[in-house]
């Protein structure tokens, strides 16, 4: 959640969120309500250029996540999935959730 808050607090998102009446902390709180928190037993090195991303992958495995949602190029360099968990962009995740 700290990584997510850091990302959504970046200047590049500020205008869009303000126009939508959203705040970074509000977004994280909303996502927290619809997610399952998991604590991985280990965090293997997968993404050499950004070790923080390894924690996201480890949590996804520990939680048996349905999806990993990210616009981060490091995740998408893994070929669209990590150990059977699809890696999708936020737009793709939105389409998937709308279809349910």
Tell whether the torsion through CA atoms of 32, 35, 38 and 44 is positive or negative. negative
Question: Which residue ranges make up each domain of the chain?
Answer: 1-35
The radius of gyration of the chain's CA atoms, rounded to the nearest angstrom, is 14
Which band of pLDDT confidence, cut at 50, 70 and 90, is reported for residue 100?
Answer: confident
For residue 4, the model assigns a pLDDT of: 85
pTM for this entry = 0.76
């Amino acid at each position: 959640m700290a990584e997510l808050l850091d990302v959504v607090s970046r200047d590049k998102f500020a205008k869009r969120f303000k126009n939508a009446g959203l705040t970074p902390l509000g977004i994280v709180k909303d996502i927290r309500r619809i997610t399952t928190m998991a604590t991985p037993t280990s965090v293997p090195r997968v993404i050499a250029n950004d070790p923080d991303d390894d924690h996201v992958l480890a949590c996804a495995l520990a939680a048996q996540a349905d999806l990993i949602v990210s616009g981060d190029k490091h995740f998408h360099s893994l070929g669209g999935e990590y150990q059977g968990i699809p890696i999708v962009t936020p737009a793709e995740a939105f389409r998937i959730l709308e279809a349910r």
